[in-house]
Structure 1
Amino acid sequence: MTGQIVALDHFAGTGWGVALRSLGIREHGVELMDEAVATREAAGFDTVYRDVWDGLADRRIVPEHDLFIASPPCQTFSVAGRGTGRLALDQVRELIEHAVWKDAAALRAAGSSLGDDRTSLVLTPLAHIWVHRPRLIALEQVPTVLPVWEAMSRVLRELGYSVWVGNLQAEQYGVPQTRKRAILMASLSGDVAPPTPTHSRYHSHDPQRLDTDVQKWVSMADALGWEGFAAEKAMGRGMVARHGDRPGRAAEDPAFTIRASAGGMEPGGFRFRRRGLTDRPSPTITGGGTDTGGAEPIAKLARYTSLPSWEGDTRRLVPEEAAALQSYPIGFPFQGGKGKQFLQIGNAVPPLLAAAIISRLTAPQLEEVHDEHHQ
């Protein structure tokens, strides 16, 4: 029945697409990055046009849809990035209050005044909603954008939407990563509430503490497999434990090292032993000072992680493993070079988190949407 709901996904990537497919919801994507478009094609996803501004300029190219999803670029808003967007938060809120989003051309022109053209992209969802009035809305961004979502929620309520805004922790929905995201959920035909957690939050200061009435969080070892990670399993090789740098450490208790060697972080800035890293959800690690903002935790984790290899030395995390830590299905066909694959993985909303959000958002609407499409 969920197949009767049609979604339009701005800044699509693939995370929402994986979730929507698992729920039987048809997705039309809008994506600019060439490699991401190639990945979408390889995965069988539909990309209807490339630039969100094109759809705002010509509504005729926008397919009909019940559900609107957007994950605008977060580099300028990230704690780890240059921070242009954080400095412009007050200006962004002023653009909302002055209803600049009602004129897409004016909104685009305002981007240069914010210090970074990408910053105004965070308001393109509101411009789209103003024109198309989708029944259901799901927006996702880094936590620093929560004040923008809150300002937008006031506008949406004036337009008749029920709205929920808040932060969600990815590990509470089965994602093997402690990733916090700012979420806006809205509906024209029912009250909105966040998805109910299925797993415990990871309490970093008290790892033994578990929330009641839910499953334990999923660890990095659970996601990748301790006896040889995903890539090693595929090659039929078992992981060989190596001695760490502390005298007397047993070979079966290897050291795992996350080393951020670029993006403004000192080499060896993070170090975890076996039980500190693999027996917990993947940590959220960020760096700063790069053009991409160093903003996406899993991309940094993937690029600057050393793990024991089958040869007794260390090796980097491979894209397949990084994807597993984002809760992608095994074998998902990421396209492009290794760096571009990591970037796509890092930019994505974790599919399990996305599925929890969409399931909660669509649940009260299924019968109504089904009936309306058959009138």
Structure 2
Amino acid sequence: MTSPALRFTDLFAGPGGLGHGAHLTGAPSVGIEYDANAVATRLAAGLATVHGDVRAYGPADFPEANALAGGPPCQTFTVAGPGTGRAQLDRIVHAVKQAGADGRVHAPAGADERTALVLEPLRWTLEAHAAGRPYKAIVLEQVPAVLPIWAAYAAVLESLGYGTATGILRTEQYGLPQTRRRAVLIARHGQPVALPAPTHRPYRRGIPRSDGDPSLLHWVSMADALPDRGPFTAISNYGTGGDPKNRGRRDCDEPAFTVTGKISRLRLVDPDGRDLPRLSHSEAGVLQGFPADWPWAGLDIGQQIGNACPVPLAAALTAAVARPAA
């Protein structure tokens, strides 16, 4: 049986990472995005976009959509952020479980506003179910700390008739020239799903990329992605263990460090240690999986790129729900 084509509503859509990844699998989307700069990029790229707050909308506003996707803001959950989301994990998990019991989503009292946004995809899902039009597929991604919340989501979704899969995926194993770990949830109504199988080998520092499972492709290096750069070494903008004097280094024949909103601080040096020009917006976007000609617009483009869902991961996740597991 052929599965019906998926049409996504993309919450917290950013500059188009998840939407473009879905498009590559043949699934159109409409994105809702609050940040005017990310909206400017989306419009320049020709992506269907609603400039607004996801809390002001619901499934009834997007009757053509039969699938839901999203990557809620990560700032309070990431290790580089203030940590308020991590501190409230238990309360957020409890809120998810309570929503599963009474069908309404209640943010914990006193929860940071950005932290509570992680509950929005659940509200949308429950509203669609209550209206008798459950989403056929759901794709969610966030930083690894959010995995317990996705596990709680999965239990609620399973009670509504969804097959679910959750886990932490390594983006270099899906062809991204960058090491980045993401907590993901995928679901399909009435059918089982499985996390997408890796297509590339995992990166291990000091281990040649020719080593490993011969059925998988080599991981992609910065040099592969940016062939016109010539040889260089990247010096991280973050210090290992929080020590700014202990900055990591990777040669261009390795994947990039995790691309963050501070990507412009990433130093590049030539083999003699001389500084090279920093990454352009186009180059930084390529490391996040965007085409080199992605029309970045507005301000804070580094932040837009760092916040975006990696395109190859988005494509793998949407393909996984488009072709449910047997």
* Residue number among 294, 315, 322 corresponding to 1:355 in the alignment: 315
State the partner residue of 1:156: 157
Shift of 1:222: 0.5
**Counterpart amino acid of 1:28?**
V
Q: 1:82 to 1:363 in 2, by over 3 A?
A: same
**Counterpart amino acid of 2:69?**
I
Alignment of 1:58-73 (within 5 A): 59-73=59-73
Question: Structure 1 vs Structure 2: percent identity of aligned residues?
Answer: 39
Q: 1:164 to 1:364 in 2, by over 3 A?
A: closer
Alignment of 1:280-299 (within 5 A): 280-284=254-258, 297-299=259-261
State the partner residue of 2:251: 277
**Counterpart amino acid of 1:123?**
L
State the partner residue of 1:345: 305
Q: 1:125 to 1:349 in 2, by over 3 A?
A: same
State the partner residue of 1:215: 217
**Counterpart amino acid of 1:182?**
A
Partner Cα separation in structure 2 for residue 192 and residue 41 of structure 1: 33
Shift of 1:268: 4.8
Partner Cα separation in structure 2 for residue 64 and residue 150 of structure 1: 28
Partner Cα separation in structure 1 for residue 264 and residue 213 of structure 2: 29
| 1:258 pairs with 2:236 | yes
Partner Cα separation in structure 2 for residue 201 and residue 36 of structure 1: 31
Q: Deviations over 1:50-104 (max 9, x none)?
A: 1111114xx5423331211010001101111111010100111111222288445
Partner Cα separation in structure 2 for residue 205 and residue 146 of structure 1: 29
Q: What TM-score results when the alignment is normalised by the length of structure 2?
A: 0.88
Partner Cα separation in structure 2 for residue 255 and residue 364 of structure 1: 41
Shift of 1:319: 1.2
Partner Cα separation in structure 2 for residue 92 and residue 80 of structure 1: 20
| 1:127 pairs with 2:123 | yes
Maintained 8 Å contact 2:8/2:69:
yes
| 1:327 pairs with 2:289 | yes
Q: 1:89 to 1:313 in 2, by over 3 A?
A: closer
Q: 1:30 to 1:256 in 2, by over 3 A?
A: closer
Maintained 8 Å contact 1:171/1:218:
yes
**Counterpart amino acid of 2:171?**
A
| 1:113 pairs with 2:110 | yes
| 1:174 pairs with 2:175 | yes
Partner Cα separation in structure 2 for residue 260 and residue 144 of structure 1: 19
Q: 1:333 to 1:154 in 2, by over 3 A?
A: same
Maintained 8 Å contact 1:167/1:181:
yes
* Residue number among 22, 25, 28 corresponding to 1:26 in the alignment: 28
**Counterpart amino acid of 2:312?**
L
- SS in structure 2 opposite 1:138? strand
Shift of 1:139: 0.4
Higher helix share: 1
Q: 1:269 to 1:302 in 2, by over 3 A?
A: farther
Answer with 1 or 2: which has the greater Rg.
Answer: 1
Q: 1:145 to 1:54 in 2, by over 3 A?
A: same
- SS in structure 1 opposite 2:322? helix
Q: 1:353 to 1:54 in 2, by over 3 A?
A: same
Shift of 1:258: 3.0
Maintained 8 Å contact 2:41/2:297:
yes
Maintained 8 Å contact 2:141/2:185:
yes
**Counterpart amino acid of 2:280?**
V
Q: Deviations over 1:115-173 (max 9, x none)?
A: x1111111111111001121100000000000000011111100110000001111111
- SS in structure 2 opposite 1:298? coil
**Counterpart amino acid of 1:7?**
F
Long gaps (5+) in structure 1: 230-238, 242-253, 285-296, 366-375
| 1:9 pairs with 2:5 | no
Q: 1:28 to 1:320 in 2, by over 3 A?
A: same
What count of residue pairs does the alignment treat as equivalent?
313
Partner Cα separation in structure 2 for residue 266 and residue 167 of structure 1: 26
Partner Cα separation in structure 1 for residue 19 and residue 242 of structure 2: 33
Partner Cα separation in structure 1 for residue 280 and residue 206 of structure 2: 29
Q: Deviations over 1:23-46 (max 9, x none)?
A: 222211110000111111111111
**Counterpart amino acid of 2:157?**
L
Q: What TM-score results when the alignment is normalised by the length of structure 1?
A: 0.77
* Residue number among 35, 38, 41 corresponding to 2:37 in the alignment: 35
Partner Cα separation in structure 2 for residue 157 and residue 28 of structure 1: 26
Q: Deviations over 1:284-341 (max 9, x none)?
A: 2xxxxxxxxxxxx4333443323449xx64332221111111111111001123xx11
Partner Cα separation in structure 1 for residue 208 and residue 265 of structure 2: 26
